[in-house]
Amino acid sequence: MELRETERIDDLHIKDYRIIQNSDGFCFGMDAVLLSDFTRVKEAESLLDLGTGTGIIPILLEAKTAGRHFYGLEIQEDFVDMASRSVTMNGQEEKISIIHGDIKEAAQLFPLSSFDVITSNPPYMNSGKGLTNPSSIKAIARHEVLCSLDDVIYNASRLLNVGGRFYMVHRPQRLMEILETLKKHGLEPKQLRMVHSYVEKEASMVLIEAIRGGKPLLKVHPPLIIYSEKNQYSPEIYQIYGKEFVADGW
């Protein structure tokens, strides 16, 4: 597989799959891996990942589930190119499609109510907060420059089947806004799990499942702790990542 300047290939330690990343760009992090573990894809279901970046979530979920087809929507052409080459490198072309497009136009790019599962690891920061270069790859990935939280949830609600599931990872500081926006667009929050670096630290991430047209009943899972002690991952993180994966320094 031909690599561009500053690109590298990383081993995902599952089915011998690998992924292309750009050392100078935005590489996937733990939030994407935890989201893929939290997401449930049943046999023959179709999935769309909004803002797929390097394609990590479709690649991991194709490896771990019996879903029928996985789509990744991404607006940045460099990411589309990298993700597409990773899919080809892994021989996943028949199961994964990487689409170049805007989340704000997702409901025009795909048939309405056509997906069983939608995932998103969207930008966490409100536009303008700590933003230095709004055109940079990292800024677009981290800040709401090209799409807002409302854009993501609105388009997810239009593209999900009735009873379809939406999974997202975000920051706990915006939890009330997230829950209000989900309900506004007909997505009922059903499962929630906080992620903490250490057991005594405040939560740094929140994992959420919402169902289109679901009945009000929210299950709050026990918190996920990343480190059991300094520089030592918790047993659950070892289980999610795999010991070999963690040993490589991820």
In a domain? residue 1: no
In a domain? residue 33: yes
The model's pTM: 0.91
223 has a pLDDT exceeding 90 = yes
pLDDT tens for residues 15-42? 999 999 998 877 899 999 999 999 999 9
CATH number at residue 62: 3.40.50.150
Cα(27)–Cα(53) distance, integer angstroms: 8
Residue 165: domain span: 7-247
Q: How many domains does the chain have?
A: 1
pLDDT tens for residues 150-205? 999 999 999 999 999 999 999 999 999 999 999 999 999 999 999 999 999 999 99
In a domain? residue 119: yes
Rounded to 10 deg, the angle between the 149-159 and 175-184 helix axes is 40
